[in-house]
Amino acid sequence: MNHKEAAARRALEFVKSGMTLGLGSGSTTAYFVDMLGVKVSSGELTDIRAVPTSEATAERALEWGIPLTNLGEYPNLDLAVDGADEVDPNLNLIKGLGRAALREKIVESHAEQFVVIVDESKLVPKLGRGPLPVEIVRFEHETHIHWLNTLGLGCTAKLWLEEDGSPAITDNGNYLALCWFEEGIADAYELAVTLSTHPGVIGHGLFLDIADTIIIAGNEGIRIMERK
């Protein structure tokens, strides 16, 4: 069993019959959806409903017969489970390299408990080791990229391109920028506010003060970080 699979299996212990779940996106969460699907299809877990954070997750859940719903019907989720691209010592995250950060943030902010499943390679002393995804509208997208490059903070931004050179497009129909920071993100809270208040920016991959539990799988087994 690989580390991602081990973390997903531990997260499954948080699920009880009768729960309404938020299902994240990405490779680690795919293991969780598959394991959940096995328990739902076998009848071991009953009366489960799920709100998916991407079209890919919705398709995967339906293949397993996991009933899907939405926040309009169930605005208060019992539990959300998702992966992360980076986790800092304060349980703050960078997410979005699976191209679903905006939907993930919407769904996971409605969960009573948000559990994050990662392998130990995702742990960082400071956010910004890798790129930060920023979702932008297509209209005048070049000017949004230009603005990101004027932020300072050692930020270099580029439009996220597919292998064929076309822009990467989210399930929401928007473009994505990737922002790199020379020395990491000095103040994630300040950056989050700056990004959130700029016209043309629809969402960003900074998930601050949202995660409740981090399940970390590594060579020494599983360890858990909890928000105090």
Nearest to 169 by CA among 145, 193, 138: 138
- CA 169 → CA 124, 203, 216, distances in Å? 28, 13, 30
Please give the structure tokens belonging to residue 193.
Answer: 């506010």
Please give the structure tokens belonging to residue 14.
Answer: 């948080």
Whole-number Å distance between alpha carbons of 193 and 189 = 6
Nearest to 80 by CA among 102, 105, 63, 61: 105
Whole-number Å distance between alpha carbons of 136 and 175 = 5
Whole-number Å distance between alpha carbons of 133 and 58 = 22
- Stretch (H or E) spanning 11: helix 3-12
Please give the structure tokens belonging to residue 53.
Answer: 């954070």
**Per the residue annotation, which of 5, 44, 55, 104 is the catalytic one?**
104
**Contact yes or no for 178/156 (Cβ under 8 A):** no
The question of whether 104 is a catalytic residue gets the answer: yes
- For the annotated catalytic residues, the residue numbers are 104
